[in-house]
């Protein structure tokens, strides 16, 4: 049954063939929205997986796909002008912490210049709400947990994290200068069916099924706040109707820009995480213990009080449920 509240809404989703973009577009289509998806279908990971996601979306009459790169300013500006979206959800980016050590230029191009392209187009053709993807990686080497949105974020551990923090500052600037209503979402290790092959849960599942060893970094002494994809899209769907309103302070009106943590607020030890995957796969993992990798952090832990107060919702899917859904999808999709 279609959801209510989004009938007739015009939504532009960048990165629509990506993991989160695909799930959000599907969610919005089911709710009665008209969705335009933009993606450049790059080969950072298996393009056939992106094509398979896209095929699912293109079965909907209210979905239109545009293949293009967000760094193409003229194309993006024209797309905003033609579609005049009510809501823009900007998810297109160069993802991955470790890859930013290998190919840093791609992060500045896609994540910084690409986001400026979106902001400029939105300035010329303002949507009711611009929601963009940030990341828990902006907390960097912070040791205070749980991470709160007002914590200092001055010590990024990777260039990827630095570009995501740059996005937040860019959005703040455009909100302050031009009244562009923006919400930044700091995602905490999102997982689930149709996920990204470069993520640990995907790599672990594939290796265990194929009988190969898994790489366990920092000798397993890591904790992550794993967040199930359906919880992420639920939070995003609710936030769409809640564009920030400038708050009056003693110093004057603040910018209409809010940042939210989107996490399961329940960190899981890496050893317990691997055990949960083993239980779902029905096979034991062969572990290869390795030191901490550059760019990694030992723990992520989201304080989601701000999200809960704004939306009445906070992510809560148990890891076993989410991993069960992922492994079921993985075996079906890859026929293994």
Residue 202 lies in a domain: no
Q: Which residues pair with 196 in a beta bridge?
A: none
Residue 113 lies in a domain: yes
Can you give the CATH number for the domain in which 40 is found?
3.40.50.720
pLDDT recorded at residue 1: 29
As a whole number of angstroms, the distance between CA 86 and CA 192 comes to: 28
Choose among 70, 65, 68: nearest CA to 120.
70
Say if residues 174 and 124 touch (Cβ distance below 8 Å).
no
As a whole number of angstroms, the distance between CA 81 and CA 120 comes to: 12
Say if residues 317 and 192 touch (Cβ distance below 8 Å).
no
Q: How many domains does the chain have?
A: 1
Residue 224 lies in a domain: no
Say if residues 156 and 165 touch (Cβ distance below 8 Å).
yes
Over residues 167-178, the pLDDT tens digits come to: 999 999 999 999
pLDDT recorded at residue 2: 37
Residue 195 lies in a domain: no
Task: Report pTM.
Answer: 0.94
Say if residues 171 and 132 touch (Cβ distance below 8 Å).
yes
Q: Using DSSP bridges, classify how beta strands 248-249 and 252-253 pair: parallel, antiparallel or unpaired.
A: antiparallel
pLDDT recorded at residue 119: 98
Residue 69 lies in a domain: yes
pLDDT recorded at residue 253: 66
Instruction: Give me the domain span that covers residue 104.
Output: 10-189+229-264+300-316
- Using CA atoms, how far residue 219 sits from 13, 89, 198, 291, 292, in Å, is 38, 37, 20, 6, 8
Choose among 27, 35, 28: nearest CA to 10.
35
Choose among 31, 49, 50, 30: nearest CA to 40.
50
Residue 61 lies in a domain: yes
Residue 74 lies in a domain: yes
Regions of the chain where pLDDT drops below 50: 1-4
pLDDT recorded at residue 5: 65
Residue 204 lies in a domain: no
- State the catalytic residues: 160
Element (H, E) at 171: helix 159-178
Q: What number of other Cβ atoms are within 10 A of residue 298's Cβ?
A: 14
């Amino acid at each position: 049954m279609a959801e209510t509240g989004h009938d007739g809404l015009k939504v532009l989703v960048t990165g629509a063939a990506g993991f989160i973009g695909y799930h959000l577009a599907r969610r919005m289509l089911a709710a009665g929205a008209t969705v335009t998806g933009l993606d450049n279908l790059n080969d950072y990971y298996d393009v056939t997986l992106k094509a398979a996601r896209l095929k699912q979306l293109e079965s909907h009459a209210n979905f239109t796909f545009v293949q293009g790169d967000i760094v193409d300013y003229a194309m993006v500006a024209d797309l905003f002008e033609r579609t005049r979206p009510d809501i823009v959800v900007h998810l297109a980016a160069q993802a991955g912490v470790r890859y930013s050590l290998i190919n840093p230029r791609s992060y500045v191009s896609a994540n910084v210049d690409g986001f400026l392209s979106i902001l400029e187009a939105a300035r010329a053709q303002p949507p009711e709400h611009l929601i963009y993807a940030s990341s828990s990686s902006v907390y960097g080497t912070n040791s205070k947990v749980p991470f709160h949105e007002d914590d200092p974020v001055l010590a990024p551990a990777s260039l990827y994290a630095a570009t995501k923090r740059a996005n937040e500052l860019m959005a703040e600037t455009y909100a302050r200068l031009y009244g562009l209503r923006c919400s930044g979402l700091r995602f905490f290790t999102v997982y689930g069916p149709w996920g990204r092959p470069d993520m640990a849960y995907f790599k672990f599942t594939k290796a265990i099924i194929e009988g190969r060893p898994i790489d366990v970094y920092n000798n397993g002494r890591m904790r992550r706040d794993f967040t199930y994809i359906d919880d992420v899209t639920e939070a995003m769907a609710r936030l769409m109707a809640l564009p920030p309103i400038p708050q009056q302070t003693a110093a004057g009106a603040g910018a209409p820009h809010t940042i939210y943590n989107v996490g399961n607020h329940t960190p899981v030890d890496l050893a317990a995480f691997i055990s949960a995957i083993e239980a779902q796969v029905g096979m034991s993992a062969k572990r290869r213990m390795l030191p901490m990798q550059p760019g990694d952090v030992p723990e992520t832990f989201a304080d989601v009080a701000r999200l809960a107060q704004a939306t009445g919702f906070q992510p809560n899917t148990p890891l076993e449920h989410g991993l069960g859904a992922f492994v079921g999808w993985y075996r079906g999709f890859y026929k293994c």
